[in-house]
Amino acid sequence: MTEQTFTAPLETLRKRVQEATQRLLGDTIGISDGDWNRASLLPGWSRANVAAHLSANADALAELIDEAVQGRSVALYADEELRAEGIERGSCMTGLELQICLDTSAGRLERAMDAVTDWSAPVALLGRRLTLAQVPMARLSEVVAHHLDLDCGFDTGRLDSSSARWLLQWAELRYADDAELPAVRLESTSGLTAELGAAGERRTVSGSDAALWGWLMGRTRPDGIEGSDGLAPALRA
């Protein structure tokens, strides 16, 4: 049985994925070969590692879609060792090669989504039984979070309001049962509320969708967030 965990207008969501990808490519085109191998904001990962992972994620999601369309179920990453090797391989690539990989893998994912006729087909994703309709949201979260990790001038202030809200909703759903999160009640200025975490006494934390999402994901400082004093969620994958 599948879990219907997230809903959004599919075509609009796919457009947001395309826009986020183009924004990413626009920012990374100016990164030099030397700067690609500088540290990203992900501990132990270079920018090249992040780019290689993003490319591999698009390829893996495309494969997931292709198999689901044929009525088959596959793991997103069938071999964790090969996945790690692929990420490390990014360190040996030039900036141009990384840019090409980011672009071509995103194109492959778009073509795979174009071929879907039944978005209710089941897939195994994020440790759950979801449907193909959840894949674009999973990709949007991946692109935006790792764009921040690349530390190339992007920040949550560049998110449009609908993307920010969907990202926060997706994070809330994904980490609702995460016992390592501080016990918080999120209250967004958009009206969205949720209770997450189990560590410590529950506190109310409020701010915009974008600010709360960045803070919850461990990507941004608690600027513009009320009630977060002393609370710092760990970096979330």
Domain ranges in the chain are 10-154, 161-216
State residue 1's pLDDT score.
41
State residue 129's pLDDT score.
86
User: How many other CB atoms are there within 10 angstroms of residue 183's CB atom?
Assistant: 15
Q: Do the strands 128-131 and 182-188 form a parallel or antiparallel pair, or are they unpaired? A: unpaired
Q: Do the strands 182-188 and 199-207 form a parallel or antiparallel pair, or are they unpaired? A: parallel
State residue 81's pLDDT score.
77
pTM, entire model: 0.93
CATH 1.20.120.450 is held by the domain 10-154: yes
* Contact between 231 and 221 (Cβ < 8 Å): no
State residue 179's pLDDT score.
83
State residue 63's pLDDT score.
93
What are the residue ranges in the chain where pLDDT is below 70? 1-6, 79, 82, 237
